[in-house]
Amino acid sequence: MRRSVVAGMGRYLPERIVTNSELAERVDTSDEWIRERSGIRQRHIAADGEFTSDLATHAARNALDAAGMTPDEIDLIIVATSTPDETFPASATVVQSKLGCGNDSMGFDVQAVCSGFVYALATADNFIKAGQVDTALVIGAETFSRILDWTDRGTCVLFGDGAGAMILKAEDGLGTSDDRGVLSTHLHSDGTLHDLLYVDGGPSSTGEVGFLRMEGKEVFRHAVTKMSAVVVEALEATGLAANDVDWFVPHQANKRIIDGTARKLKVGADRVVVTIDIHANTSAASIPLALSVAVDDGRIKKGDIVLIEAMGGGLTWGSGILRW
């Protein structure tokens, strides 16, 4: 059985850091208020003229270096983003050009908001399992600062910009949970919950980009229940139990959501990777950013079972289990 094995991780964060105290000078909020409700201390904000594809390309180059690979070895590029450079073409093709991958590769974007990286990973995994490609570059990249209403303290304090990248390579496995690579992915959506989290604009509706709008309390309620359920689904599909998981790497939406989900699954805090305090919510970039940090600091090691999960606008949600 073909498996999609992680060959390298990379990340990129814009240079500018905006602290909670700096935000408190712009909107009616405080460092204490933000920390208590989200766990966030700071976020990175892209510079003027710095695009989502730029962040994605930097992260991709770092992942290629980690994998010891060159751009011409990549068969497939998928960029998960809700903030593309342009309405079209796909940011993935821009990254393809900036990396110099050549036209033997293909690229496209996936849009599932904060669940985007899980959706992109599942898509790349299926391309590899089907034998259509041997290598895939999966990127989550966002410049959410461009779609925030900076007068709305309920949303503008929660998000940041950044990119994380993962390189997958095909390897043969036995088809058991002892294999390295992606063991399972599980995706869901419910369009009836659109109004809980959306952007109030678009080329076909208003002709403008619009701003992010969110019903925070309702999103919180759905997040804990839906993400817990999709994690259980992944564990059951692979025959694993929660105590088999070495590292739980959730979407970094809110520290209270992360803690609530971990408690519900009985996963100890010492096995949860948390970066929301320094990155804030970077939407589709949050999981690969957190994975990259945990790989670089030595927490995630070869052979570890890693569980990821996310929920985003749509609503969309999903999970995945990998053996590193």
User: What are 124's two structure tokens?
Assistant: 């790349």
Kindly state the tokens that stand for 44.
Answer: 């990175």
The catalytic residue among 114, 186, 254, 279 is 114
Write the DSSP string, 165-196.
EEEEEEEE--SSTTSSEEEEEEEEE-GGGGGG
At 148 the three-state DSSP class reads coil
Residue 249's nearest CA partner among 207, 295, 203, 316 is 295
Is residue 243 part of the annotated active site? The answer reads no
> Is residue 103 flagged as an active site residue?
no
The total of other beta-carbon atoms located within 10 Å of residue 104's CB is 8
Which residues have C-beta within 8 Å of that of residue 83, sequence separation ≥ 6? 52, 142, 143, 144, 146, 147, 283
* Residue 62 is among the residues annotated as catalytic for this protein: no
The active-site residue, picked from 101, 251, 254, 279, is: 251
Rounded Cα distance, 250 and 239, in Å? 20
Q: In whole angstroms, what separates CA 89 from the centre of its chain? A: 21
The dihedral sign for the CA sequence 44, 271, 114, 214? negative
Task: Quote the CA–CA distance of 225 and 74 in Å, as a whole number.
Answer: 37
> Catalytic residues, which ones?
114, 251, 281
